Copies of this chain bind each other. A is one copy, B any other.
Amino acid sequence: MPAPVRFELLGVDTRSNARRGLLRTPHGTVETPVFMPVGTQATVKGVVPELLRACGSQMLLANTYHLALRPGEEVVRSLGGLHRFMAWDGPILTDSGGFQAFSLSDRATLTESGVAFRSHLDGSLLDLTPERAIAIQEALGADVAMVLDHCPALPAGKEAVAEATERTIRWARRCQRARTRDDQAVFGILQGGSHADLRSECAERLVEIGFDGYAIGGVSVGESPEEIRKALEVSTPHLPAHQARYLMGVGRPQDVLDAIAAGVDMFDCVLPTRNGRNATCLTRRGPVRMRNAAHKADPRPIEDGCDCPACSRFSRGYIRHLFLADEMLGPILASVHNLAFLHRLVRDAREAIGEGRYDRFRAEALEALGP
Q: Quick check: B297 and A42 within 8 Å, CB to CB?
A: no
Rounded to whole angstroms, the CA-CA distance of A297 and B333 in the bound complex is 31
Whether A1 sits at the interface, judged by CB under 8 Å, is no
Task: Pick 24 A–B contacts, CB within 8 A, sort by A.
Answer: A41-B327, A42-B321, A43-B325, A43-B327, A43-B328, A43-B329, A45-B327, A45-B329, A46-B328, A46-B329, A46-B332, A70-B324, A70-B325, A71-B317, A71-B324, A78-B299, A78-B317, A79-B297, A79-B299, A79-B317, A85-B315, A85-B318, A87-B313, A87-B314
Whether A91 sits at the interface, judged by CB under 8 Å, is no
Q: Which residues of B contact A86 (CB under 8 A)?
A: 318
Q: Quick check: B325 and A328 within 8 Å, CB to CB?
A: no
Q: Quick check: B322 and A43 within 8 Å, CB to CB?
A: yes
Rounded to whole angstroms, the CA-CA distance of A71 and B320 in the bound complex is 9
Query: Chain B residue with minimal CB distance to A330?
Result: B43
Counting chain A residues whose Cβ lies within 8 A of the other chain, the interface size class is 35 or more
Q: Which residues of B contact A48 (CB under 8 A)?
A: 48, 51, 309, 329, 332-333
Q: How far is the CB of A122 from chain B (nearest CB, A)?
A: 11
Whether A80 sits at the interface, judged by CB under 8 Å, is yes
**For window 37-56 of chain A, which residues contact chain B by CB distance below 8 Å?**
41-43, 45-51
Q: Which residues of B contact A318 (CB under 8 A)?
A: 42, 79, 85-87
Q: Which residues of B contact A297 (CB under 8 A)?
A: 71, 75, 78-79
Query: Chain B residue with minimal CB distance to A67?
Result: B321
Q: Known interface pairs A46-B332, A48-B332. Does A79 touch B325 (Cβ–Cβ under 8 Å)?
A: no
Whether A331 sits at the interface, judged by CB under 8 Å, is yes
Residue in B71, B78, B87, B309 whose CB lies within 8 Å of A321: B71
Q: Known interface pairs A43-B322, A48-B309, A51-B48. Does A75 touch B317 (Cβ–Cβ under 8 Å)?
A: yes
**For window 286-330 of chain A, which residues contact chain B by CB distance below 8 Å?**
296-297, 299, 309, 313-315, 317-318, 320-322, 324-325, 327-329
**For window 176-193 of chain A, which residues contact chain B by CB distance below 8 Å?**
none
The interface of chain A, by Cβ under 8 A from chain B, is 41-43, 45-51, 70-71, 75, 78-80, 85-87, 296-297, 299, 309, 313-315, 317-318, 320-322, 324-325, 327-329, 331-333
Query: Chain B residue with minimal CB distance to A78?
Result: B297
Q: Which residues of B contact A46 (CB under 8 A)?
A: 328-329, 332
Rounded to whole angstroms, the CA-CA distance of A85 and B321 in the bound complex is 10
Q: How far is the CB of A53 from chain B (nearest CB, A)?
A: 12
A-B contacts besides A48-B309, A70-B321, A78-B297, 17 pairs, CB < 8 Å: A41-B322, A41-B327, A43-B322, A43-B325, A45-B329, A46-B328, A48-B51, A71-B320, A75-B317, A75-B321, A79-B297, A79-B299, A79-B315, A79-B317, A87-B313, A87-B314, A328-B328
Rounded to whole angstroms, the CA-CA distance of A78 and B62 in the bound complex is 42
Q: Which residues of B contact A70 (CB under 8 A)?
A: 321, 324-325
Residue of A48, A86, A317, A322 with most chain B CB atoms under a 10 A cut-off: A48
Rounded to whole angstroms, the CA-CA distance of A42 and B315 in the bound complex is 13
Q: How far is the CB of A309 from chain B (nearest CB, A)?
A: 7
Q: How far is the CB of A256 from chain B (nearest CB, A)?
A: 25
